[in-house]
Amino acid sequence: MGPLEEIIKRAQAGEARTSGIGGVNNGRLKSNPNDKPRDKIERSQLTRIGLLGCGGFGTVELWEHKKTKETYALKALSKGYIVKTGMQESVMNEKNILMMTNSPFIIRLWETYNGEKSLYFLLEPALGGELYATYNRRGLHGSEKHAKFYVAGVIEGFQHMHDRRIIYRDLKPENLLLNDLGQLKITDMG
């Protein structure tokens, strides 16, 4: 488990290359207990780069901060669809859970925005895509070393959630994303 231990150590030391760990400090999100508080990221500070994906609730787009050039995934959730399907509590649960977590194995929530027709979550981008698609595209089925690596990431993420009395009920390869380094990120907390 060498690479996994390295990810955990870098995250604990505040040296993670990607912003995959989240927490709360005086109401402001921050990535690591050792990090300095970040300024609020306003939507006006972001530029749209392109579409990452579409789902039942809405879209996920890639956005870039105009000044820092950091990239983010902006998940737009249609208010009409949320109300029509009775998912208000689920959406609020997702936001609250993401704000409670502080793990390199759980997708990071940076900000939330309330628009006229949509709610928005500004998230860490998982540019490696879904684990499911990666396994199919690269033919990783049956690879013991890959299975161990990704299962260990899920276990670490679950342990972090269970320590906070959070139960995750939607484990499937489509809800396991990869960052640009191939590191696992649990998503879809709703």
Q: Which residues are catalytic?
A: 170
Contact of 119 with 112, CB cutoff 8 Å? yes
Phi, psi at residue 54, to the nearest 5°?
-130, 150
Non-local CB neighbours of 118 within 8 Å, separated by 6+ positions: 58, 76, 77, 78, 79
Query: Given strand 129-130, what is the order of strands in its sheet?
Result: 129-130, 176-178, 184-186
Contact of 80 with 117, CB cutoff 8 Å? yes
Q: CA-to-CA distance for 96 and 118, rounded, in angstroms?
A: 18
